[in-house]
């Protein structure tokens, strides 16, 4: 059973920093892309940052220069600096095309971690 578990969320003042972590456990053969999404109240869940198995990264424009995504084996991280109130959301870890065998793959999501930035 594959599981993604996030940690590191919390309450921080504007201008502060948080580091989110996500550990992927279970039967894993290979993971392609990994990323972080967020969902703010009343909004849809949007991609924040992603990283390929080769380490190539991409970011939504609103976090570029402030957030950094990284990965190490079955872990993915999101370093969030210069946080703004509009970054307040539930942040979800996502594994895109996680292969449990060489032939079987699907997407997986974590349960989410709350990030609240006060002004």
User: Does the pLDDT of residue 49 top 90, yes or no?
Assistant: yes
Please give the pLDDT value at position 1: 87
Separation CA 5–CA 109 (nearest Å)? 9
User: Does the pLDDT of residue 91 top 90, yes or no?
Assistant: yes
Separation CA 85–CA 116 (nearest Å)? 7
Q: How confident is the model at residue 26 (pLDDT cuts 50, 70, 90)?
A: very high
User: Does the pLDDT of residue 82 top 90, yes or no?
Assistant: yes
User: Does the pLDDT of residue 5 top 90, yes or no?
Assistant: yes
Q: What is the mean pLDDT of residues 22-36?
A: 94
State what percent of residues in the chain have pLDDT above 70: 100
Backbone angles phi, psi at 87, to 5 degrees: -85, -5
Please give the pLDDT value at position 43: 95
Q: Which residues pair with 23 in a beta bridge?
A: 5, 75
Contacts of 88 (CB under 8 A, 6+ apart): 40, 115, 116, 117
Separation CA 97–CA 95 (nearest Å)? 6
| Tally of CB atoms within 10 A around 32 | 14
Please give the pLDDT value at position 72: 93
């Amino acid at each position: 059973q594959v599981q993604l578990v996030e940690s590191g969320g919390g309450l921080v003042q504007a201008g502060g920093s948080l580091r989110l972590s996500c550990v992927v456990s279970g039967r894993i053969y290979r993971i392609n892309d990994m990323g972080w999404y967020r969902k703010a109240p009343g909004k849809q869940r949007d991609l924040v940052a992603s990283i390929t198995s080769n380490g190539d990264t991409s970011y939504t424009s609103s976090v570029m220069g402030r957030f950094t995504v990284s990965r190490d084996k079955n872990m993915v991280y999101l370093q969030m600096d210069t946080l703004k109130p509009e970054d307040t959301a539930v942040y979800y870890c996502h594994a895109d095309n996680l292969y449990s065998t060489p032939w079987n793959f699907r997407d997986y999501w974590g349960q989410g971690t709350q990030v609240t930035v006060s002004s």
